Amino acid sequence: MLLLRLAARDLLAVNARRRLVSHLAARWVHFQRGESSDGERSAWARSLVSLAEDLVAAGRGNVEMIVECSPTVAATEGVAKNHGQIDVVLVGRHPMEGTLSVQLVELKQWSSVTRVEAATADLVYVPGEEKPFLHPALQLGEYHALFTGPTGPLNGLQFECGGFAYLHNATEESVRPLLSLDAPTGPYARLYTSDTRASLLNDLRCHFTDEDEFSAAEYILHRMNLRNTPLLHAMVKSSGEDTVFTLRGRQKKVADDVLEASELILDAPDREALVPRPQRAVFLVTGGAGTGKSAIGLQLRADLEAAGRTVKYASGSRAFNAVPKLADWVVVREELRHGRRGSAAGRV
């Protein structure tokens, strides 16, 4: 599994065009994980972006971010279920040694931690959560063993590998239990919060060079038989002008027709419902290969989400993974008090 691989500066560029979360959500569905939860989407929109912004602030926007990938070269379904996917792997070159430099990252949106089990120092209790979590350093320890072990993608390479947990919503005081004397230790056990951001930026500079070189992340992913999607490469190259994401002619008319139909079928999302009533609209865009269905779908999703609507994007296209097929879907679902259940279709 791989959601994406991008340099930090490119991730921010895609996010600025409001296409980061929708791409990640589509990849999530592709790997048969169902619809992404609000928590997952929030983590992508906030935690990933926060880390990318810190890399850029440290002058390390060239460092590549591998987002949610399985930790071993021969990652079977059992491995994925037992160990999950690591949030982020940062890949670049060491500024002094010139060797491969890798940092494993666990991103947490926790704002505080109430306690850690004193007996084992492995279970973390977070306000508002019923079940405890594994200490982030222990999570990273497992990933470190998998990445550097006999079946790991770093096996046989010369590298520096460490890791850290980043709690960008917390302060050091609010997560003090994580930093107790019996907390896990190791090269992967560092922890940063909002008030230790300066230390994080300094450490990023110590671990990575600011020079652009060949893609070390691409080499690692090649060893894991993983790759980015063609659609993601197109998004990175897009500057918003004269690209596959600039809708023209029939493409723009189809998108405008869908937006107009959504206004007629669905009430304004910010209007209170006197009588709550489930309402949804389904818009189907069809056309031949290369006619811009994915571009239309992504633009519609961005526009509809910007208007405050909840949007589900489903695609029969494999533009998120390989060769395009013939249909993209945009599904808009709303809880509204009035309106007709309807659909609209456009052909490119």
Using CA atoms, how far apart are residues 60 and 182, in angstroms rounded to an integer?
33
Q: Give the number of other Cβ atoms within 10 Å of residue 42's Cβ.
A: 13
Q: Find the mean pLDDT for residues 106-130.
A: 83
Could you read off the pLDDT of 144-170 as tens digits, one per residue?
988 888 888 888 888 899 999 999 999
> Which tokens is 27 given?
């990849």
**Residue 88: predicted pLDDT:** 94
**Residue 50: predicted pLDDT:** 95
According to DSSP, the β-strands at 86-93 and 133-134 are: unpaired
Q: Find the mean pLDDT for residues 61-72.
A: 85
Using CA atoms, how far apart are residues 3 and 227, in angstroms rounded to an integer?
9
**Residue 347: predicted pLDDT:** 54
DSSP state of 179: G
Please, which residues have CB within 8 angstroms of residue 222's CB and are 6 or more apart in sequence?
none
Percent of the chain having pLDDT more than 90? Answer: 25
DSSP state of 326: S
Q: Decide if pLDDT at 248 tops 80.
A: no
**Residue 303: predicted pLDDT:** 75
Percent of the chain having pLDDT more than 70? Answer: 74
**Residue 51: predicted pLDDT:** 96
Using CA atoms, how far apart are residues 21 and 13, in angstroms rounded to an integer?
12
> pTM higher than 0.75, yes or no?
no
Residue pair 270/218 in contact (Cβ under 8 Å)? The answer is: no
According to DSSP, the β-strands at 2-7 and 64-69 are: antiparallel
Q: Find the mean pLDDT for residues 74-96.
A: 70
Strand arrangement, sheet containing 64-69: 2-7, 64-69, 86-93, 100-107, 159-167, 190-193
Give, in order, the Cα–Cα distances in Å from 207 to each of 94, 103, 288.
Answer: 5, 8, 47
Q: Decide if pLDDT at 294 tops 70.
A: yes
Q: Decide if pLDDT at 332 tops 50.
A: no
> Which region among 29-38, 68-77, 130-139 has the lowest average model confidence (pLDDT)?
68-77
Can you tell me whether residue 33 is helix, strand or coil? coil
